[in-house]
Structure 1
Amino acid sequence: MKQAKRVFVIVIDSLGIGVMPDGEKFGDVGVNTLGHISESVETFRIPALQKLGIANLTQLRQVPAVENPLGYQAALRERSNGKDTMTGHWEIMGVETKKPFKTFTEHGFPKELIDELEKRTGHKVIGNKSASGTEIIEELGEEEIATGHMIVYTSADSVLQICGNEETFDLQELYRCCEIARELTMKEEWRVGRVIARPYVGKKRGEFERTSNRHDYALKPPVKTALNVLQDNGFDVISVGKIKDIFDGEGITEAYKSKSSVHGMEQTIELADKDFHGLCFVNLVDFDAKWGHRRDPEGYAKELEMFDEKLAVLLEKLREDDLLIITADHGNDPTYTGTDHTREKVPFLAYSRSMEGNGMLPEQDTFAVIGATILDNFGLSMPEETIGTSLLSCLK
Structure 2
Amino acid sequence: MTGRAVVVVLDGFGVGATPDVADSDAGWHTLEHVAGDAPLQLPTLASLGLHRLAPRAVEEQQLRGAYGRLAPVHPGADTYLGHQELMGGGLSRVELKLMEDVGETVRDALVAAGHRVEPLVEGQSMLLVDGVAVVHDNIEARARLNINVTATLDDIGFDELSEIGFVVRRAVNVSRVIVVGSRGYDVDDIRAHIVDRGEGQVGVDTPGLGVYTEDYQVRHLGLEFPVERQLPTRVIEAGGDVVLLGKAADVVRCTGAVRENLVPTAEVLDAAVRHLTSMEHGLIVANVQETDLAGHEQDRDRYRQVLRLVDAKLPQLLEQLGPDDVLFVTADHGNDPTSGSSRHTREYVPLLAYGAAFQPVDLGIRSTLADVAATVADLQQLAELESGESFLKEISCSST
Q: Can you give the 5+ residue segments of structure 1 that lack an aligned partner in the other structure?
A: 130-142, 186-190
Residues 95-128 of structure 1 deviation map (CA, whole Å, 9 limit, x = unaligned): 1636865364xx8776524633552452445758
Matched, 1:294 2:259: no
Whether 1:329 aligns to 2:332 is yes
* Corresponding residue to 1:112 among 80, 83, 104: 104
Matches within 5 A, 1:61-80: 61=57, 63-66=58-61, 68-80=62-74
Question: 1:364: Cα distance to partner?
Answer: 1.2
- What is the number of residues matched between the two proteins? 364
Question: 2-side partners of 1:286 and 1:127: how far apart?
Answer: 30
8 Å CA contact 1:94, 1:382 repeated in 2: no
Matched, 1:150 2:133: yes
- Stretches of structure 2 that go unaligned for 5 or more consecutive residues are 123-127, 190-208
Partner of 1:53: 49
Does residue 44 (structure 1) correspond to residue 46 (structure 2)? The answer is: no
Partners of 1:167 and 1:79 in 2: CA distance: 40
Deviation at 1:314, TM superposition (A): 2.2
| Percent of pairs with identical residues | 27
Classify the secondary structure of the residue corresponding to 1:48. Answer: helix
CA-to-partner distance for each residue in 1:37-56, whole Å, 9 max, x for gaps?
1126x563211111111010
Q: How does 1:1-396 map to 2 (within 5 A)?
A: 5-24=3-22, 28-39=25-36, 42=38, 44-61=40-57, 63-66=58-61, 68-95=62-89, 97=91, 101-102=95-96, 104=98, 111-113=103-105, 115-116=107-108, 119=111, 120-124=113-117, 148-153=131-136, 154-157=138-141, 158-166=145-153, 168-185=155-172, 191-201=173-183, 209=213, 211=215, 213-222=217-226, 224-247=229-252, 249-288=253-292, 290-352=293-355, 354-355=356-357, 357-383=359-385, 386-396=386-396
Q: Contact 2:50 / 2:350 at 8 angstroms: preserved in 1?
A: yes
What letter matches 1:372 in structure 2? A
Assess, with a 3 A threshold, how the Cα gap between structure 1 residues 203 and 389 changes in structure 2: closer, same or farther.
closer
Post-superposition shift, 1:9? 0.4
**Contact between 1:103 and 1:192, CA under 8 Å: does it hold in 2?**
yes
1:160-218 Cα deviation digits (max 9, x unpaired)? 22234556423332222111111122xxxxx3211222233458899985646532211
Deviates more, 1:174-183 or 1:309-318: 309-318
CA distance in 1, matches of 2:221, 2:370: 23
CA contact (8 A) 2:106 2:171 kept: no
Residues 306, 128 of structure 1: alpha-carbon distance in 2 compared, 3 angstrom cutoff? farther
The offset of 1:245, in angstroms, is: 1.9
Distance in 1, matches of 2:312 and 2:178, equals 30
CA distance in 1, matches of 2:12, 2:256: 22
Moved over 6 A (4+): 203-208
Whether the 8 Å CA contact 1:237–1:251 is kept in 2: the answer is no
Would you say the 8 A contact 1:126–1:152 is kept in 2? no
Q: Normalised by the size of structure 2, how large is the TM-score? A: 0.81
Q: Secondary structure at the match of 1:362?
A: strand
Q: What SS does the aligned partner of 1:351 have?
A: strand
Which moves more between the two structures, 219-228 or 335-344?
Answer: 219-228
Query: 1:182–1:35: structure 2 CA closer, same or farther, 3 Å change rule?
Result: same
In the other structure, the counterpart of 1:188 is none
Q: Which stretch shifts more, 92-101 or 223-232?
A: 92-101
Inter-CA distance 5–118: structure 2 relative to 1 (3 Å threshold): closer
1-side partners of 2:121 and 2:315: how far apart?
Answer: 43
* Aligned-residue CA RMSD (Å): 3.1
